[in-house]
Structure 1
Amino acid sequence: MLNPLEGIQKLKFTGAVDADGHILEDAGLWDRYIEAKYKDRAVRVRIDAKGLEYLEVAGRPSKIFSGGRLGGLSAMGTKRDDKWQNRRTYGGTAPFGAMDAKERLQRIEAEGLAAAFLYPTMSLLWETETEDIELAQACTRAYNRYIVDFCSQSGGRLIPIAHLSLGDPAAAAAELERAVKAGCKGGWVAQFVMTRKPHAHPDHDVLFAKAQELDVPIGIHPSLEPVWAMPGRYDYKYVRGQFYFLNVTAADAIRHAFTSFFQYGTFDKFPKMRLVLLEAGAGWIDYWLGRLDAVYASAMG
């Protein structure tokens, strides 16, 4: 039998933490964890007439993840030459540690990691395809209950981060408090907002105030985006399917969100608030802060 940990390189130093570790969460979690009121519209994996999996969101088939495309999510940690495109079932060929907490602990031990902050995979998809603010809150609550349970026997080495939705900032603040009391060590939001308000809009201050009060960070994590949130200077028909372009420019949304916190003076209002920017690289930050300073000096001068 092959050793699933073979080939994993161990760090030569101690104390490292995976700050953005992803899992392939159980596709049935919403059926089990969502409140009864919303169960008929829960996120689900269904089978179509051809026997292929598709994602169902708010009782409707996904326009994006259909025809077996969910299987591609099992390619986490692989390369294109690993024939990822032929994987037709969600989690069917999941990498070791992607779906099982005990395996994940073995994996981070093999990697020489002290701990891993965990983020989802399927939960990066569904918010793109619903405008139902109340349902979105229910779906985040269900996932958060699940991820706390997933990490509960890890001795603190698997660290749950709560999914929040800014569609209802007061509800997101209440969920952050509940989730932190349950064991989460922070929260994250997508790089777009259902209401199309900037991330740092004052209407969202209730969440930032709660994060500061609880002394936990808020992260902005990229996900799939609705068509309206994609780069708008080009007609969609010219960028549709242009995955190279869309992936390169995806981090722009994180920078836009980040900049809104300076526009609205959020850090002045909440000086102890901590903001985490995920999967956008870091080489740009020096230029960006310099640009912020230069524009501020010009505007105020």
Structure 2
Amino acid sequence: RPGGHDPHARIKEMEVDGLSAEVLYPTLMLGLFALQDARLQEACFRVYNDWLFEYCSLARHRLIGIAAISVYDIDHAVTELERCRKQGLKGALIWQAPHPDLPLHSPHYDKLWAAAQDLAMPVSMHILTGHS
């Protein structure tokens, strides 16, 4: 449907469906969570997050954007989370199957969890993301 790339069409489709708001997850980015090149992943996600910010800017109260966040470099992840929050995105998606060297229970993620809490930015995971 045209609303997948045109926010004006998206709002019209939402009106037809009787929806007051939608949460927009980064479905197009799911496969990129498996990238081994951290810098490439960060760059791809930044471009996507910028696009999403622009897309949602038409109706921020109705189009709720969820950023894609690379967590190889946790300091970069925190910076990107902060940037996305300032842009108006409302949450973040990280990989569900982490790199074997970075299990989700490790202290590697502590800064991210703290930043997400401070920013009131929920972090979610989606099946089929990451390394499995």
Q: TM-score, normalised by structure 2?
A: 0.89
Q: Which residue of 2 aligns with 1:181?
A: 86
Any idea what the Cα deviations from partners look like across 1:74-123, whole Å, max 9, x if unmatched? xxxxxxxxxxxxxxxxxxxxx24222111111112222221111112321
Question: SS at the partner of 1:125?
Answer: helix
1 or 2 for the larger relative contact order (CA 8 Å, sep ≥6)? Answer: 2
The code of the aligned residue for 2:73 comes to D
CA RMSD between the two structures: 1.7
Counterparts in 2 of 1:182 and 1:224: CA distance versus 1, 3 Å = closer
Question: SS at the partner of 2:43?
Answer: helix
Residue 217 (structure 1) shift: 0.5
Unpaired runs of at least 5, structure 1: 1-94, 230-301
Is 1:153 the counterpart of 2:58 in the alignment? yes
Residue 203 (structure 1) shift: 1.0
Q: TM-score, normalised by structure 1?
A: 0.41
Residue 168 (structure 1) shift: 1.4
- Equivalences for 1:125-204 in 2 at 5 Å? 125-128=31-34, 130-204=35-109
- Equivalences for 1:63-102 in 2 at 5 Å? 95-102=1-8
Quick one: which of 6, 11, 17 aligns to 1:111? 17
The code of the aligned residue for 1:154 comes to A
Q: Which structure: greater helix fraction?
A: 2
Higher CA-based Rg: 1
Q: How many residues align?
A: 132
C-alpha distance in 2 between matches for 1:178 and 1:206: 15
C-alpha distance in 2 between matches for 1:144 and 1:127: 14
The code of the aligned residue for 1:174 comes to T
Unpaired runs of at least 5, structure 2: none
C-alpha distance in 2 between matches for 1:100 and 1:193: 32
Runs of 4+ in 1 over 3 A off after TM superposition: none
- Equivalences for 1:47-66 in 2 at 5 Å? none
Any idea what the Cα deviations from partners look like across 1:164-194, whole Å, max 9, x if unmatched? 1221122111100011001111111121223
